């Protein structure tokens, strides 16, 4: 019998379509001498036929994922820094134009977006439960509250700061299973003509590219415009605009407003029609997705084993959260990868979650170039390849697995 669970949005029945097996916390990089028991959970994905929301079958407690030692910093990528600066300028120009505008960001991380807002002299508040990254935000002059955002928090913010013209979230809203409390809170916090703007990985792109590593503990939901509209309307909100983004391998930026406050743009009707034609969450489409994922996994491990048997040096590039799914689902460990290089100091000297591959600094990559590099940070491929000209010149080749396995 196919496993089912209750939809976190509409309380319908979610039917499982992909099981990635036992997975570790994607950002739990362990010390080599850590002999404690590693936390694992079952990573499985389902879809609700009623509201069409794609979601995880099991929830990982939020305190296990977002805490004092959370190692991801949004400012780590030049491309992403430029993206968030442009996003801040867009919000300032389009939505924060009143006499005393106020913006709240959910999951502000190290303040990369709100830094620009702060410099513009606009009232703001970042909500960030992870202590270390929030301290970096404060050092930039960003006002931060260390808390998870939910209805109770929203009511406190409104009481202290007044209504928000914009609530913004980037790669955060999809992390939150308890959408009822969050959207109720946003409804309370928003000004009558305010907007909730959020951007997250788009299941339409995940499906097209078979980018299965977008499924991991932190990504509880994979949104589409259809599922977001269905979800929003349950909480007195409506989808009024969408924008395609190239970030993180393909995202959508959604704009929600209170029902009746704004007229939905033509972009909304266009993407809803496109999704209806693609029938993204039909049983046939989901089965096809699963078959492609399993095929990619088999091809990747076969290629890596062949290179190992030929005596080639292969390393991983980018100790991303997404890489936990790839390494563990495909059974890629220290026998197939010499190490994974990453520029994040908090990850260096540790082991990749579950798979136990050493994480070394970028200098380990450049000091003695390997024969091949598995591009785990594939969503930053253009930026990385432009930087790693020396690797190419030394005869190095990249291994990619999205949308298919290939060597470049």
Domain ranges of the chain: 74-283, 284-407
> Which CATH number applies to 74-283: 3.50.50.60, 3.40.50.1820, 3.40.50.150, 2.60.40.1840?
3.40.50.150
- Checking if the pLDDT of 407 tops 60, the result is yes
* Domain 284-407 of CATH type 3.20.20.60: no
The stretch 98-125 carries a mean pLDDT of 95
pLDDT band at 1 (very low <50, low <70, confident <90, very high): confident
Query: Residue 191's pLDDT is what?
Result: 98
Q: Where are the beta strands (DSSP E) in 38-163?
A: 40-47, 54-56, 102-106, 123-127, 144-145
Domains 74-283 and 284-407 equal at CATH topology level: yes
Query: Residue 388's pLDDT is what?
Result: 97
Q: pLDDT of 259-312, one tens digit each?
A: 999 999 999 999 999 999 999 999 999 999 999 999 999 999 999 999 999 999
* 357-371 b/e (C-beta count within 10 Å ≥ 16 → b): bbbbbeebbeeebbe
Is the pTM higher than 0.85? The answer reads yes
pLDDT band at 130 (very low <50, low <70, confident <90, very high): confident
- 374 membership: H or E segment, kind and range: strand 372-375
152: left (phi over 0), alpha (psi -120 to 50) or beta: alpha
pLDDT band at 197 (very low <50, low <70, confident <90, very high): very high
Q: pLDDT of 151-167, one tens digit each?
A: 999 999 999 999 999 99
User: What's the chain's average pLDDT?
Assistant: 94
Q: Is 284 exposed, middle or buried (0-12, 13-18, 19+ CB in 10 A)?
A: exposed
């Amino acid at each position: 019998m196919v496993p089912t669970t209750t939809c976190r949005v509409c309380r319908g029945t979610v039917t499982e379509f992909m099981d990635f097996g036992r997975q570790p916390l994607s950002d739990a990089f362990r010390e080599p001498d850590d002999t404690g028991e590693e936390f694992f959970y079952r990573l499985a994905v389902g879809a609700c036929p009623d509201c069409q929301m794609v979601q995880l079958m099991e929830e990982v407690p939020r305190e296990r994922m977002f805490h004092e030692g959370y190692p991801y910093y949004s400012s780590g990528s030049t491309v992403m820094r430029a993206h968030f600066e442009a996003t801040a300028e867009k919000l300032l120009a389009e939505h924060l134009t009143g006499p005393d505008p106020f913006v709240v960001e959910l999951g502000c991380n190290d303040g990369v977006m709100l830094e620009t807002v702060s410099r513009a002299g606009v009232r703001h508040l970042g909500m960030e439960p992870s202590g270390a990254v929030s301290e970096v935000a404060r050092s930039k002059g960003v006002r931060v509250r260390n808390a998870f955002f939910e209805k109770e928090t929203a009511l406190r913010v409104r009481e202290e700061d007044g209504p928000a013209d914009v609530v913004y979230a980037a790669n955060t809203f999809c992390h939150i299973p308890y959408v009822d409390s969050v959207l109720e809170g946003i409804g309370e916090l928003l000004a009558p003509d305010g907007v909730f703007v959020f951007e997250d990985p788009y299941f339409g792109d995940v499906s097209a590219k078979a980018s299965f590593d977008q499924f991991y503990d932190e990504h509880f939901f994979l949104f589409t415009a259809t599922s977001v509209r269905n979800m929003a309307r349950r909480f007195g909100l409506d989808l009024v605009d969408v924008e395609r983004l190239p970030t993180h391998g393909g995202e959508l930026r959604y704009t929600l407003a209170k029902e009746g406050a704004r007229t939905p743009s033509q972009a909304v009707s266009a993407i809803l029609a496109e999704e209806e034609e693609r029938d993204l969450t039909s049983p046939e489409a989901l089965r096809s997705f699963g078959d492609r994922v399993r095929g990619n996994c088999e091809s990747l491990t076969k290629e890596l084993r062949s290179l190992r048997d030929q005596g080639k040096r292969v390393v991983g590039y980018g100790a991303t959260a997404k890489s936990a799914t790839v390494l563990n689902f495909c059974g890629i460990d220290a026998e197939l990868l010499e190490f994974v290089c990453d520029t994040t100091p908090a990850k260096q000297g540790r082991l990749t979650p579950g798979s136990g591959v050493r994480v070394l600094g970028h200098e380990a990559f450049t000091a003695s170039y390997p024969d091949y590099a598995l591009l785990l940070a594939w969503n930053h491929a253009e930026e990385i390849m432009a930087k790693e000209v020396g690797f190419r010149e030394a005869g190095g080749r990249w291994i990619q697995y999205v949308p298919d396995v290939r060597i470049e």
